[in-house]
Amino acid sequence: MTGPEGRDHFVSMGSYGIGPTRLLAAIIEASHDAAGIIWPEAVTPFDVALINMKAGDADCDRICGEIERALVAAGKDVLHDDTDQRPGAKFATADLIGLPWQFIVGPRGAAAGEVEIKNRKTGERETLSVAAAASRFGAVL
């Protein structure tokens, strides 16, 4: 390219578009709290965090398995936490990851046939029967 003074100059340019990494950073910046990310449902990497509060407990394992199968059959992506961590660590990890919904299965609830559902965005919790919790997300047990 020839400049205004008549000399040749090399042309350089840059592109500052919105790529996937910038888009993810923008989503996280716009949707988070002190505990971690709060993924909008339209772009979440998983739909549901399934938290087994006592992995190895027969009732907890059975109910988590039923819920996971039903949700997957309904087309939901499930991140199943069946690690051997303390409850506080499991809750902190789930909040940090920031999936929109958390299904919490503990020994007392499992014995009663109940699941606790937490909305990550609002923090609201609701205890439902296993079938009602699954059907809320289009799954059938």
Domain residue spans of the chain: 35-136
- Token pair recorded at residue 137: 């997300």
Which residues make Cβ contacts (< 8 Å) with residue 54, sequence separation at least 6? 60, 106, 107
Q: Which fold has domain 35-136?
A: Rossmann fold (3.40.50)
Residue 1 clears pLDDT 80, i.e. is over it: no
Q: Which residues of 105-116 are buried (b: 16+ CB within 10 A; e: fewer)?
A: bbeebbeeebbb
| pLDDT tens-place string over residues 61-115 | 999 999 999 999 999 999 999 999 999 999 999 999 999 999 999 999 999 999 9
- Token pair recorded at residue 102: 């958390």
